[in-house]
Amino acid sequence: MRPLEDYIVVDFSQFLSGPSAGLRLADLGARVIKIERPETGDICRHLYTSNVIMNGESSVFHAINRNKESFTADLKSEADRAHVWELVKKADVVMHNYRPGVMERLGFDYESVKAVNPDVIYAEISGYGNIGPWKDKPGQDLLLQSLTGLTWLSGNAGGPVPMGLSIIDMLAGTHLTQGILACLVRRSVKGEGALVQVSMLESAYDLQFEAVTTYYYDGLLPQRSETHNAHAYLGAPYGIYQTANGYMSLAMGSIPQLAQLLKCNALLPYSEVAQAFHQRDEIKAILAEHLKTGTTESWLAVLQPADIWCAEVLSWDTLMEQEGFKALEMVQKVTMKDGYQYRTTRCPIRMDGELLTSDIGSPALGQDTQSILKEIIS
């Protein structure tokens, strides 16, 4: 039995952050009902990446919203609002990711929901928290990366380099999920409801907790290496290097040992471990020149038996050919109600040795409105 079986999540959220939390709750067994506005629905339905359209909607929407139901309601219509209130009364979790104040205007804020459903877990993601002068700014992933210092950690020394995924949306989603689950634990013991709040700003800052703790201590901003940077705070060889036929990564390792294993004489003078940080630019430059002279396979054949942390750099096509990847069965095929099928990832958590898969695709806008109405009225 899935841990959240019999739990109902009424989800007003859109885009990525909130819906990614809803996806995880669905995979854990909850029934997740998206409340969407008629005609347009979740804006993510038409938030295309690479202009790819799958069954009339964006691939992003299909990836994030599989295994959910869709209920359309015009929150300005009294009849529709009454139906949504019936759903909210039955909900274990109510969630949204509107800007502060919007749910208050719509009337479905925590105080109002709690009045009809006292032990509800009410969860919300904002961009910048509900207080302070930034609270009304738009909570968008790249903007949050820009504002929180995150762009000075990736890439080489020079200008800012963002992380090339909606990393803050996803982290805010994981934090919200954690908060919701923790409060469900408490509720099952104490019968108490809760308000759970996460902001993208706090999630973006939390992501940097290690580096920021170092900064609080020494007051030095991150210094990325001139080339081959993979972590501003780590010494050589930490980075990715080109070889004669591709790329390979080298994590932490002793420079003298590498010099010997790779037969790289130019590295021999770098005998002290401490130099690996302070002289990392020189060391990385020497390594980079040397590694170009052999194939990835030839280097790995020498380094891996010596327990040096290294790996080839794969892309999705080559990754998917690997037996080590296939064995994990990360790919699942899901089917929409109209029969449209697509492949996507599954929940990365295993329970009692079982995969938390589901073959249910994303919902067409409002596909479950009528059946849910029947339930409510009955």
Under rule CB under 8 A, which residues in 167-206 are in contact with a copy of itself? 167, 170-171, 174-179, 181-186, 188-190, 194-199, 201-203, 205-206
Cβ 370 to a copy of itself, closest distance in Å?
A: 28
What single letter denotes the amino acid at residue 271?
S
Q: For residue 267, give the 3-state DSSP assignment.
A: helix
Cβ 371 to a copy of itself, closest distance in Å?
A: 26
Burial class (CB in 10 A: 0-12, 13-18, 19+), 45: buried
What single letter denotes the amino acid at residue 127?
G
Burial class (CB in 10 A: 0-12, 13-18, 19+), 76: exposed
Pick the closest to residue 179 from 244, 93, 252 (CA basis): 93
**Residue 206-245 contact track with a copy of itself, rule CB under 8 A, x = bound:** xxxxxxxxxxxxx-xx--x----xxxxxxx--xxx-x---
Instruction: Give the interface size with a copy of itself as a residue count (CB under 8 A).
Output: 142
Residue 257 touches a copy of itself, criterion: CB under 8 A: no
Residues 91-120 binding a copy of itself (CB under 8 A) are: none
- Which residues, including other chains, have CB under 8 Å from residue 188's CB and lie 6 or more apart? none
Task: Report the alpha-carbon distance of residue 203 to residue 224 in Å, rounded.
Answer: 23
With CB under 8 A as the contact rule, the residue among 39, 78, 115, 138 that binds a copy of itself is 138
Q: For residue 170, give the 3-state DSSP assignment.
A: helix
Stretch that binds a copy of itself, among 67-75, 100-108, 127-135, 366-374 (CB under 8 A): 127-135
Burial class (CB in 10 A: 0-12, 13-18, 19+), 228: buried
Judged by beta carbon, residue 85 or residue 325, the one nearer a copy of itself is: 325
Stretch that binds a copy of itself, among 53-61, 79-87, 260-268, 281-289 (CB under 8 A): 53-61
**Residue 64-93 contact track with a copy of itself, rule CB under 8 A, x = bound:** x-----------------------------
Residues 268-297 binding a copy of itself (CB under 8 A) are: 274, 277-278
Cβ 365 to a copy of itself, closest distance in Å?
A: 19
Alpha-carbon distances, residue 30 vs 24, 42, 187, 193, 307 (angstroms): 9, 20, 16, 17, 43
Judged by beta carbon, residue 78 or residue 352, the one nearer a copy of itself is: 352
Which secondary structure element, helix H or strand E, spans residue 174, and what is its range? helix 167-190
Residue 137 touches a copy of itself, criterion: CB under 8 A: yes
Residues 342-371 binding a copy of itself (CB under 8 A) are: 342-345, 347-353
Q: Among the options 169, 218, 338, 359, which is catalytic?
A: 169
Alpha-carbon distances, residue 263 vs 271, 281, 292, 304, 340 (angstroms): 14, 20, 13, 15, 56
Cβ 363 to a copy of itself, closest distance in Å?
A: 16
Specify whether 27 is catalytic: no
Residues 313-342 binding a copy of itself (CB under 8 A) are: 313-317, 319, 322-328, 330-331, 342
Task: Report the alpha-carbon distance of residue 172 to residue 169 in Å, rounded.
Answer: 5
Cβ 261 to a copy of itself, closest distance in Å?
A: 16
Alpha-carbon distances, residue 237 vs 211, 277, 281 (angstroms): 19, 9, 9
Q: Which residues form the catalytic set?
A: 169
